[in-house]
Structure 1
Amino acid sequence: MSKYDQIYKELVENIIDNGVWDRDQTVRTKWADGSLAYTKSVISKQIVFDNTEVPILTTKKVAWKTAIHELLWFYVHRTSDVTYLREHNVKIWEEWTMSDDTIGKAYGYQLGKEIYTGEYETVRENGLLTYEPVVTNQVHNLIEELKKNPASRRHIISLWNIDDLHLMSLYPCVWHNQWLVKEGKLHLVVGIRSNDMALGNPFNVFQYYVLQRMIAQVTGYDVGTLTFNINDCHVYERHIEPLKEQLNRTPLNPPTLWINPEVKNFDDFTIDDFKLLDYVHHPSIKMEVAI
């Protein structure tokens, strides 16, 4: 029986039974028909996985390839241009795509944005020597620092750039993550400001498990724990009945994730380097997306 299914069931039932409504407020999110999309929430919940099994729900089908495509788009391609998604028939960002075919300066843009290391390199051009600042990006910097300085408690990726928020079509929900190396194991802590339990959480949990495996593989560490700190943990009003149906299903055994062990360079990962073996699940449950 899947451990994640049990963790998920307890958390969602807690929200449905004990959560607080936001019906007294004018909320931002709406349904396709224009109605306000109200939620029931609990504040500040933590879920921890020991990573002895793949954390993917079995009480419904999770589109795992779509989840990995989104992850690759963010962390490997490091762009907010939706071309990669469209090439792979992934439509989950269409509602937030702007007229320039991007989601603005969000997610992948922040990961690919040049950052300065504070170091300089000597460049010889036309017989002249100059000193040029060394630039990198958040992903490459994380990998390099994990290799060079594993004891650091500063291995952090931030997607929340306050200067660029007004240029994002959607503010990041998963807004930062921190990596810690202890006794040769790579632990990951993920911070989420707002988590839609019906549609967002199943994707996020599986994606960051995959990312943790990828980073561990290219840095040479074993995989440690995976922790999610969720600030506003909620279910949408129109998701409650479908979720009740899902939670009444009997969890099944978790699958196995195969990642191509030949990949040593993070940027070389493609969708073909992942296989989810023996993924047995209950049918999908249709749930409307709040925009």
Structure 2
Amino acid sequence: MGMADEIYGKLVTEILDEGIWDKDQNVRTTWSDCSPAYTKSLISKQMQFDNSEVPILTTKRVPWKSAIHELLWFYVKRTSDCSYLDENNVKIWKEWTNGQNNIGKAYGYQLGKPIMLKGQITNQVHNLVAELINNPASRRHVVSLWNIDDLDQMELYPCVWNNQWLVKQGTLHLVVNARSNDIGLGNPFNVFQYYVLQRMVAQVTGYKLGTLTLNLNDVHIYERHIDSLKEQIQRTPFLAPELWINPEIKNIDDFTINDFRLMNYEYHPSINMEIAI
């Protein structure tokens, strides 16, 4: 049984059993028919993976290539322009893409934005890699996507907004913080993506792979996802697959989709869940 399915199933069950409805509030999100997209949620839950296996769900198919493409768009391309996604037929951002075919000053823009640190122009990704190599004991290895000065120019405020990296005894640990996490659609993407990113950064910095922790502040299930998730968590999980990453890549900017292969990925059929906007 895959560890990701077990951890995910327990969290889904806890939200269904103990979650709090927001039907007393004027919620921002809506369905395509313009009706309110209500959620059942828990406050401040944590998912932790020891990374002894790939944390990807098998109780439904997770489109892993699209997940990696989005990750590469953020952390390697470092842009909010959606051309890269278009070229690779990734449509997950279509609902938030503006007339200029970008998502404003969000996500990749913040990662690629030039910053002055220690007298040199760099960006958050290059600075992270350099500091992990040169100053591993620091507790300041933080990447932030939440820039209050740019929020009104973002098509969507970042949900996963911050991550912190910690090096202990030659092992690289990653803590990911999310202000909001949609357990049905967003969470399976996020868990797998940040595992892949952790593998990438560990490879280019030379550290062993440590734990992956996700702190989820408002973790929720949309009302129209409840029946689908009840069905999903009743399925018997398969064994976790293996992820091959090209060991020849030593620079974070050199990764492409061709440097990743998910092997022996066995999964149950996809489950349709409507996107709340």
Q: Aligning the two structures, in what range does the TM-score lie when normalised by the shorter sequence? A: over 0.9
Q: Which of 208, 212, 227 is the equivalent residue of 2:194?
A: 208
CA distance in structure 2 between the aligned counterparts of 1:11 and 1:185, rounded to whole angstroms = 27
- Corresponding residue of 1:285: 271
Secondary structure at the aligned position of 1:177 is classed as strand
Q: Which residue of 2 aligns with 1:139?
A: 125
Corresponding residue for residue 126 of structure 1: none
CA–CA distance in structure 2, aligned partners of residues 107 and 168 of structure 1? 9
Superposed displacement of residue 285, structure 1: 0.3
* Aligned-partner SS, 1:250: coil
Matched, 1:16 2:2: no
Q: Give the partner amino acid of 2:17.
A: D
Q: Distance in 1 between matches of 2:238 and 2:118?
A: 50
Letter in 1 for 2:45: K
- Alignment partner, residue 225 of structure 1: 211
- What residue in structure 1 maps to residue 98 of structure 2? 98
Q: CA deviation at 1:118?
A: 2.8
Higher fraction of strand: 1
Deviation at 1:117, TM superposition (A): 1.3
Q: How does 1:1-291 map to 2 (within 5 A)?
A: 1-119=1-119, 134-291=120-277
Q: How far apart, in 2, do the equivalents of 1:260 and 1:237 lie? A: 41
1:54-99 residue CA offsets vs partner (Å, 9 max, x unmatched): 0000000000000000000000000000000000000000000011
Alpha-carbon distance in structure 2 between the residues aligned to 1:247 and 1:46: 19
Residue-pair matches, total: 277
5+ residue gaps, structure 2: none
Q: Which runs of 4+ in 1 moved over 3 A?
A: none
**Secondary structure in 2 aligned to 1:48?**
strand
Q: Give unpaired runs (5+ residues) of structure 1.
A: 120-133
Normalising by structure 1, we get a TM-score of 0.95
Cα shift readout 1:253-279 (whole Å, capped 9, x = no counterpart): 000000000000110000000000000
- Structure 2 length-normalised TM: 1.00
Give the root-mean-square deviation of aligned CA atoms: 0.4
- State the shift of 1:193 in Å: 0.4
SS of match in other structure, 1:55: coil
User: SS at 1:257's partner residue?
Assistant: strand
Give the 3-state SS of the residue equivalent to 1:164 in structure 2.
helix
Query: What is the CA-CA distance between 1:283 and the residue it aligns to?
Result: 0.3
**How many percent identity over aligned positions?**
70
Question: Which of structures 1 and 2 has the bigger CA Rg?
Answer: 1
What secondary structure is seen at the aligned counterpart in 2 of 1:68? Answer: helix
One-letter identity of the residue aligned with 1:269:
F
- Counterpart CA distance in 1 for 2:135 and 2:14 is 40
